[in-house]
């Protein structure tokens, strides 16, 4: 499942990078929890939670339906 998540993040990254941010995959648990670290301009951004849930999480769930949720660490 980790490989699927990595591929899906590759599709998401350009839009984050266009705004000076990025996302780093930390862990994919056996029970479908994806742990990521937001980097760059995403750190401290008031929209980071929205980006995480409505952007990254929704996109990943479409590509990898086994994912239950995405958490920032």
* Domains detected in the chain: 2-72 (3.30.300.130)
Burial class (CB in 10 A: 0-12, 13-18, 19+), 60: buried
pTM of the model: 0.90
Beta pairing partners, 34: 28, 70
Tokens 């409505």 sit on residue:
54
Q: How confident is the model at residue 43 (pLDDT cuts 50, 70, 90)?
A: confident
Residue 16 pLDDT exceeds 90: yes
Q: How confident is the model at residue 45 (pLDDT cuts 50, 70, 90)?
A: confident
Q: Which of 68, 20, 65, 17 is nearest to 44 (CA)?
A: 20
């Amino acid at each position: 499942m980790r490989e699927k998540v990595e591929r899906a993040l590759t599709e998401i990254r350009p839009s984050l990078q266009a705004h000076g941010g990025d996302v780093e995959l930390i862990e994919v648990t056996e029970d479908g929890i994806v742990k990521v670290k937001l980097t760059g301009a995403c750190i401290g951004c008031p929209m980071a939670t929205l980006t995480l849930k409505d952007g990254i999480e929704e996109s990943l769930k479409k590509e990898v339906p086994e994912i239950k949720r995405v958490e920032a660490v």
